[in-house]
Structure 1
């Protein structure tokens, strides 16, 4: 599985340099920057310390949606108090989840938000699953470089495994299921039930390949019955 690190609107060049250093140390190479030129500033290069190749190969995008066009599974980091979503996976819980998904999903992205305000709800809605670092209540945040290091360290073991062949059909199962489920809610005239729609979106990211395939079959049967 190819795993990209995406930084949304980073304001401080030093934070980008620290993120690049953390990635290089743990074996990650694909850094994507949304709506910022911080990686081009001297501070990023100064802090990167031997990770200049990561900065040299940064892919820049105007929006998060653009940065995720070729990504099949998206993990967004957020503070629990800022998110309207409720399902969280800790960094440790991401390891078995991605271990299962690497057999049928070829690319993933780990998204980090703005230093001061994180990701918007609209940006969080692009994710398949949310994650956060459990912290003491009286010190509720990490800086961007620290957060990237925590996740890169936790997921480094996945990068050391031999990549598996993933067929396009398998890789698109989850995305197709998400679209199919939303269309079914529209047909049933319950798409305006935001609580149900959000719950469904959040839970689909947890499904294993067999469960995803079975739910596709169920939705197919429901669609067939509705069309009779």
Structure 2
């Protein structure tokens, strides 16, 4: 599994440098930046300190949606108080989720929001799963560089785990299931129920591969019945 670290509109080059250094320390190499040129400022390279190769190979995109075009599974970081969706996991739980998906997800992305305002609701909707760092205080105190380090440290185990090739399946199954689910909500005329749609999308993010296969089968039977 290739895990891309995605920073959305970072304002401070020092934070980009700190993120690159954290990635390099823990074995991650792919950094994507959305709507920002902070990585081009000298301060980013100064703070990166030995992770200049990650700064040099940064991929840039105008929008988060474009940064995720080739991604099979997206995780977005957010504060629990801002999460519109009910389900989200801690960094430790996220490791378990990704280890289970190691066999059938080729490209994954971990998205970090703006230093001052995080990710918008529209950007959160692009994610398959939400995650956040539990903290004692109500006000989040981790800056962007620290957050990237926490996750890179926790997820470093993924870098040494190889997927069992005999169990590889089509990584597009999750996206296909999402599309089929949306179509079913439309056919049932309940697509306007935002709470139901949010619940459906976020629960899909925690399904295991065998559950996705079974849900595809169930949706097929429902679709067939609706056509009769």
TM-score range, shorter chain: over 0.9
In the alignment, what sits opposite 1:41?
41
Structure 1 residues not aligned, in runs of 5+: none
Structure 2 residues not aligned, in runs of 5+: none
Q: Greater CA deviation, 147-156 or 86-95?
A: 86-95
- How many Å apart are 1:184 and its aligned residue? 0.3
Contact 2:33 2:59 in 1 (8 A): yes
In the alignment, what sits opposite 2:65?
65
In the alignment, what sits opposite 1:203?
203
In the alignment, what sits opposite 1:103?
103
User: 5 Å matches for 1:42-191?
Assistant: 42-165=42-165, 170-191=170-191
Q: Do the aligned partners of residues 115 and 72 (structure 1) sit closer, same or farther apart at CA in structure 2, a change above 3 Å counting? A: same
Contact 1:77 1:130 in 2 (8 A): yes
TM-score, structure 2 as length reference: 0.97
Q: Deviations over 1:85-107 (max 9, x none)?
A: 12110000011110110111111
Aligned structure 1 segments of 4 or more residues deviating by more than 3 angstroms: 163-169
User: 5 Å matches for 1:12-23?
Assistant: 12-23=12-23
Q: Deviations over 1:192-221 (max 9, x none)?
A: 011111100010000001000000000000
CA distance in 2, matches of 1:86, 1:39: 34
TM-score, structure 1 as length reference: 0.97
Q: How many residues end up aligned between the 2 structures?
A: 228
Q: Please report the RMSD computed on the Cα atoms of aligned residues, expressed in angstroms.
A: 1.4
CA distance in 1, matches of 2:137, 2:47: 29
Contact 1:3 1:108 in 2 (8 A): yes
